């Protein structure tokens, strides 16, 4: 009898066929249960591999027991079957060790901003799908131009209903696109799209085209793998109704991203027209306005477009919210309040995740209730524990409260959600740096740099850490390594100018900055260079030059930052007029600037009047201003401002000759902001005024390690050694001071005081 006939007689093919059919049915049943009961997708793989690994056992059983009648169990069956079973179990354990086999969801207790507690079922973060939605291409049809950004925006909003998806649009990637020479976010090469998605640790990105054939809209999309660049799925959507196409695209994309089918079927998916507006023209205006704000930073035009949108549909909640924000940006407070109230009234139209985002800003900015804003963020992190943006927002609010340790913990949650978001290590490193913890800061920043050795930014940030802690040689060595990656990198070469300035090589630093001015192409690079030029001018006492650069700086900054942010930075620079003996001018300019800004930022800008008021001897007004701002800071719980308030109180106390109180407030300022050189110098100043010379010298010496060529620190030491009658050291530090200020303005107040000390020391030297 042949082998084949023997196999047939023993009915091996019959049993194997039945096993395969039954196994296929079992896999299908497990897949059905996975979708319905939302089990881990790994169960399907486990079942399939388990059946495959047990195939030898089934074959042996069929061979030995498949003939009609009773068969005996031989040695082969008794040994091979247990061995196969054990080996199969071992292989399955090896393959699935560490893989999740639990449910894709979990139940959490959630507390809202009103203290109400409820239970919710939320997805587990390991099943999160992250995708970048780039601007679509167009066939030059003017009617569809708004859809280039508009279609991905609508898709992004539709996807925000699904907690399994984390998506971002061109607006969230605009900084990287600007740096790469694509400030509009349009017509970006596929290779750059892939790089930006990969650098942001998004495994997928979506591209598309939109065109018109008669009255039929056509959208074609491609889903790409960010690592390989491979196209994973292609689809075409046709129809007269653009809203329907977006809904279809959203559904298909979630299927392509392998969101569990059972979840998709059970999940409530509200139509995009219900979320936004059924008025297509209103939606078009909103999408154009979103691009104008998020990409072009043009807030006046944004407000005008949104006014048109909400006039067509007053229930358009998202448009009302953006209108409120844009009116806030341009100082139209009454319109902002009206719009945000309308947005809150129709908030029910929006996906829950978007509602939470709006509520945070509403409670913080409008109601000025920081506790409720924080409660909403906590609720957001509980409902969407896989949403890294929720924890980023939480980290930001804790940072505003000056709760840096808690902010670090929130960023660590981001890493828990997605361990590949290594850029978060840089944020954590910066927070440790702000705490004055050099060891932990270096550990996190070096960990990031070594994880991405070809990332020049990582090495630049590490070099900046060394600079801030006075490790100038290590900073220079790290920059050398960074510049091997990209020799012409502007931001890294700016750090070389910083080193030169700190070492007192001002002309060398100035020469490098002038060179970089001609090489800076992007707006951000130009702003960075101008910032360094103004800092160098302040080092050298050239306040008039600061304000020459300031005009260009503010003009470019307006294309990058919001108007309130620009106004805040403008106010900080206006204080420097005092160093040029222009306290009245500073006072008036800050007052006018505050009038152009909406609450509560207007009051924070107005705070910067305290310094000119003190200089002008209007101490009671200064005290009232400081107290009012301190109350606002407490109300908003922006503890990051505590050091500013304490510093202001210290300066006021000095003006009143209350040096004990000045030291107390100065220590409070340093405690809340330990790495600020200016606050450290102020502390040393208060100590010197009380004749606590040893303590003061320790403070100033520590600062000299960080910035040995700084004129103000050296001048403080010159005064200290003059007071202690150590005239040689006084002359040494005054010499460094005069070198720093040799080209200072004739009106530069500190240089005038330094020249007076020089005359006194010269007189004393002649007498000796």
Q: Does the pLDDT at position 618 exceed 60?
A: yes
Q: Does the pLDDT at position 37 exceed 60?
A: no
Cα 283 from Cα 272, distance rounded (Å): 10
How many angstroms separate the Cα of 316 from the Cα of each of 279, 319, 325, 337? 9, 6, 15, 16
Give Cβ neighbours of residue 335 (< 8 Å, ≥ 6 apart). 303, 323, 324, 327
Four-residue CA torsion sign, 561, 193, 271, 255: negative
Q: Residue 599 phi/psi, 5° resolution? A: -65, 150
Token pair in block for residue 169:
């649009």
Residue-level pLDDT at 622: 96
Strands (E), 89-160: 105-111, 117-123, 129-133, 137-138
Give Cβ neighbours of residue 280 (< 8 Å, ≥ 6 apart). 242, 243
Q: Does the pLDDT at position 732 exceed 80?
A: yes
Closest CA to 635 of 610, 604, 677, 668: 604
Closest CA to 558 of 545, 549, 567, 547: 567
Q: Does the pLDDT at position 253 exceed 60?
A: yes
Angle between helices 42-53 and 12-37 (to 10 degrees): 170
Q: Does the pLDDT at position 359 exceed 90?
A: yes
Residue-level pLDDT at 234: 96
Paired strand residues for 137: 209
Which contiguous run of DSSP H or E holds residue 446?
helix 438-451
Whether pTM exceeds 0.75: yes
Cα 685 from Cα 721, distance rounded (Å): 13
Buried residues in 25-61 as b, exposed as e (16+ CB within 10 A): eebeebbeebbeebbbbebbbbbbebbebbebbbbbb
- For 208, the 3-state DSSP assignment is strand
Lowest-confidence segment of 67-71, 204-208, 235-239 by average pLDDT = 67-71
Cα 520 from Cα 508, distance rounded (Å): 18
Q: Does the pLDDT at position 415 exceed 70?
A: yes
Q: Residue 209 phi/psi, 5° resolution? A: -130, 155
What would the pLDDT profile of 654-687 be if each residue is shown by its tens digit? 999 999 999 999 999 999 999 899 999 999 999 9
Paired strand residues for 225: 204
Cα angle: 487, vertex 493, 495; to 5 degrees: 145
Rg for the chain, CA atoms, rounded:
33
Residue-level pLDDT at 188: 94
Q: Residue 99 phi/psi, 5° resolution? A: -85, 145
Cα 6 from Cα 385, distance rounded (Å): 60
Residue-level pLDDT at 61: 66
Q: Do residues 562 and 525 make contact, with C-beta atoms less than 8 angstroms apart?
A: no
How many C-beta atoms surround the C-beta of residue 102 within 10 A? 12
Closest CA to 389 of 574, 163, 728: 163
Residue-level pLDDT at 352: 87
Residue-level pLDDT at 509: 95
Q: Do residues 608 and 575 make contact, with C-beta atoms less than 8 angstroms apart?
A: yes
Cα 674 from Cα 318, distance rounded (Å): 41
541-544's contacts with Cβ under 8 Å and 24+ in sequence apart are 541/579, 541/711, 541/740, 541/741, 541/743, 541/744, 541/745, 541/748, 541/750, 541/751, 542/743, 542/744, 542/745, 542/748, 543/576, 543/577, 543/579, 543/580, 543/745, 543/747, 543/748, 544/580, 544/745
SS (H, E, C) 315-369: CCHHHHHHHHHHHHHCCCHHHHHHHHHHHHHCHHHCCHHHHHHHHHHHHHHHCCC
Q: Does the pLDDT at position 433 exceed 70?
A: yes
Four-residue CA torsion sign, 39, 45, 48, 50: negative
Residue-level pLDDT at 389: 84
Cα 171 from Cα 493, distance rounded (Å): 28
Residue-level pLDDT at 423: 73
How many angstroms separate the Cα of 567 from the Cα of each of 121, 564, 585, 731? 44, 5, 17, 41
Token pair in block for residue 220:
């074609």
Q: Does the pLDDT at position 306 exceed 80?
A: yes
Q: Do residues 563 and 299 make contact, with C-beta atoms less than 8 angstroms apart?
A: yes
Cα 306 from Cα 310, distance rounded (Å): 6
Cα 712 from Cα 539, distance rounded (Å): 8
Q: Does the pLDDT at position 542 exceed 80?
A: yes
- For 486, the 3-state DSSP assignment is coil
- Where is pLDDT greater, at 36 or 642? 642
Token pair in block for residue 563:
């108007």
Residue-level pLDDT at 721: 95
Could you say which DSSP state residue 267 is in? S
- For range 533-553, the mean pLDDT: 95
Residue-level pLDDT at 95: 65
Matching residue, tokens 């591209």: 207
Q: Does the pLDDT at position 67 exceed 90?
A: no
Domains and CATH numbers, the chain: 3-96 (no CATH), 125-275 (3.40.50.10070)
Burial (Cβ within 10 Å: 0-12, 13-18, ≥19) of residue 75 = exposed
How many C-beta atoms surround the C-beta of residue 177 within 10 A? 22
Q: Does the pLDDT at position 347 exceed 70?
A: yes
Sequence-ordered alpha helix ranges (H) in 187-298: 190-199, 242-256, 261-266, 272-275, 280-294
Average model confidence (pLDDT) for the chain?
A: 87
* Dihedral class, residue 214 (left if φ above 0, else alpha if ψ from -120 to 50, else beta): left
Matching residue, tokens 């209103």: 282
Closest CA to 154 of 242, 240, 38, 72: 242
- For 76, the 3-state DSSP assignment is helix
How many angstroms separate the Cα of 250 from the Cα of each of 15, 173, 229, 283, 353? 45, 20, 21, 17, 17
**DSSP H helix total and E strand total for the chain:** 39, 8
Q: Do residues 761 and 722 make contact, with C-beta atoms less than 8 angstroms apart?
A: yes
Give Cβ neighbours of residue 108 (< 8 Å, ≥ 6 apart). 119, 120, 122, 382, 383, 385
Four-residue CA torsion sign, 717, 433, 672, 590: positive
Q: Does the pLDDT at position 69 exceed 70?
A: no
Could you say which DSSP state residue 469 is in? T
How many C-beta atoms surround the C-beta of residue 731 within 10 A? 18
526, HSE (Cβ side, Cα atoms, 13 Å): 17
Closest CA to 303 of 343, 332, 273: 332
Residue-level pLDDT at 268: 74
- For range 121-144, the mean pLDDT: 77
Q: Find the farthest-apart pair of alpha carbons in the chain and give their distance in angstroms, rounded.
A: 129
Which contiguous run of DSSP H or E holds residue 52?
helix 42-53
Closest CA to 629 of 648, 615, 616, 652: 648
How many C-beta atoms surround the C-beta of residue 224 within 10 A? 23
Q: Does the pLDDT at position 466 exceed 60?
A: yes
Residue-level pLDDT at 271: 94
Q: Do residues 386 and 125 make contact, with C-beta atoms less than 8 angstroms apart?
A: yes
Residue-level pLDDT at 716: 96
Burial (Cβ within 10 Å: 0-12, 13-18, ≥19) of residue 215 = exposed
- For range 648-659, the mean pLDDT: 96
Q: Does the pLDDT at position 84 exceed 90?
A: no
Percent of residues, the chain, with pLDDT higher than 90: 58
Residue-level pLDDT at 751: 95
Token pair in block for residue 184:
């509009």
Token pair in block for residue 396:
């930001």
């Amino acid at each position: 009898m042949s082998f084949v006939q023997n196999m047939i007689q023993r009915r091996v093919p019959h049993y194997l066929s039945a096993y395969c059919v039954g196994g296929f049915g079992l896999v299908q049943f497990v897949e059905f249960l996975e979708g319905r009961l939302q089990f881990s997708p790994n169960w399907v793989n486990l079942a399939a591999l388990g059946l495959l690994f047990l195939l030898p056992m089934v074959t042996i059983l069929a061979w030995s027991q498949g003939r009609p009648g009773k068969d005996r169990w031989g040695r082969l069956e008794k040994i091979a079957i247990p061995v196969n079973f054990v080996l199969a179990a071992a292989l399955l354990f090896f393959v699935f060790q560490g893989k999740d086999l639990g449910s894709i969801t979990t139940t959490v207790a959630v507390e809202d901003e009103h203290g109400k507690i409820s239970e919710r079922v939320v997805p587990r973060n390991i099943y999160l799908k992250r995708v970048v939605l780039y601007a679509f291409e167009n066939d030059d049809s003017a009617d569809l131009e708004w859809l280039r950004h508009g279609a991905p925006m609508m898709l992004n909003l539709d996807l925000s209903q699904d907690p399994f998806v984390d998506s971002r649009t061109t607006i969230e990637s605009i900084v990287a696109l600007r740096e790469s020479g694509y400030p509009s976010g349009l017509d970006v090469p596929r290779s750059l799209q892939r790089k930006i998605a990969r650098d942001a640790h998004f495994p997928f990105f979506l591209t598309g085209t939109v065109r018109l054939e008669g009255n039929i809209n056509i959208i074609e999309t491609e889903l790409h793998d960010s690592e390989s660049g491979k196209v994973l799925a292609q689809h075409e959507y046709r129809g007269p109704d653009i809203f329907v196409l977006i809904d279809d695209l959203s559904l298909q994309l979630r299927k392509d991203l392998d969101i569990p089918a059972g979840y998709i079927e059970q999940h409530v998916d509200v139509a995009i027209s219900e979320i936004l507006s059924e008025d297509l023209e209103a939606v078009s205006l909103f999408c154009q306005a979103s691009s104008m704000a998020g990409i072009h930073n043009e807030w006046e035009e944004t407000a005008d477009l949104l006014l048109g949108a909400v006039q067509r549909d007053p229930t358009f909640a998202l448009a009302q919210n953006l209108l409120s924000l844009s009116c806030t940006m341009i100082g139209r407070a009454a319109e902002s309040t009206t719009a945000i109230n309308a947005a809150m009234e129709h908030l029910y139209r929006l996906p829950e995740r978007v509602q939470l985002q709006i509520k945070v800003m509403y409670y913080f900015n409008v109601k000025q209730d920081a506790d409720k804003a924080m409660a909403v963020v906590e609720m957001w992190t509980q409902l969407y524990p896989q949403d890294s943006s929720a924890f980023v927002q939480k980290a930001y609010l804790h940072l505003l409260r000056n709760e840096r340790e808690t902010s670090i913990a929130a960023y660590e949650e981001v890493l828990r959600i997605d361990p590949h978001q290594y850029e978060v290590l840089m944020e954590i490193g910066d927070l440790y740096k702000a705490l004055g913890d050099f060891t932990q800061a270096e550990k996190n920043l070096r960990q990031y740099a070594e994880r991405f050795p070809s990332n020049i930014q990582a090495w630049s940030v590490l070099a900046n850490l060394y600079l801030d802690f006075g490790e100038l040689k290590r900073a220079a060595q790290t920059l050398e390594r960074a510049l091997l990656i990209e020799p012409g990198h502007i931001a890294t070469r700016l750090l070389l100018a910083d080193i030169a300035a700190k070492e007192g090589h001002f002309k060398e630093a100035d020469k490098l900055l002038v060179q970089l001015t001609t090489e800076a192409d992007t707006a951000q690079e130009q702003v960075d260079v101008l910032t360094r030029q103004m800092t160098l001018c302040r080092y050298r006492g050239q306040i008039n030059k600061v304000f020459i650069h300031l005009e260009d700086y503010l003009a470019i900054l307006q294309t990058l930052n919001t108007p309130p942010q620009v106004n805040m930075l403008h106010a900080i620079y206006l204080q420097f007029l005092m160093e040029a003996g222009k306290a009245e001018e500073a006072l008036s300019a800050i007052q006018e600037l505050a009038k152009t800004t909406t609450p509560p930022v207007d009051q924070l800008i107005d705070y910067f009047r305290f310094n000119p008021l003190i200089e002008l001897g209007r101490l009671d007004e200064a005290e009232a201003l400081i107290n009012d701002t301190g109350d606002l800071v407490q109300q908003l719980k922006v503890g990051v401002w505590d050091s500013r308030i304490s510093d202001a109180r210290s300066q006021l106390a000095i003006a009143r000759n209350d040096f004990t109180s000045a030291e107390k407030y100065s220590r409070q300022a340093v405690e809340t902001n330990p790495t600020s050189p200016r606050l450290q110098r102020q502390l040393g100043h208060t100590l010197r005024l009380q004749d606590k010379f040893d303590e003061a010298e320790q403070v100033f010496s520590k600062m000299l390690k960080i910035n040995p060529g700084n004129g103000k620190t050296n001048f403080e030491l010159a005064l200290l050694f003059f007071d202690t009658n150590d005239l040689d050291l006084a002359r040494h530090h005054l010499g460094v001071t005069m070198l720093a200020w040799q080209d200072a303005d004739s009106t530069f107040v500190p240089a005038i005081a330094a020249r007076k000390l020089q005359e006194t020391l010269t007189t004393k030297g002649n007498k000796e």
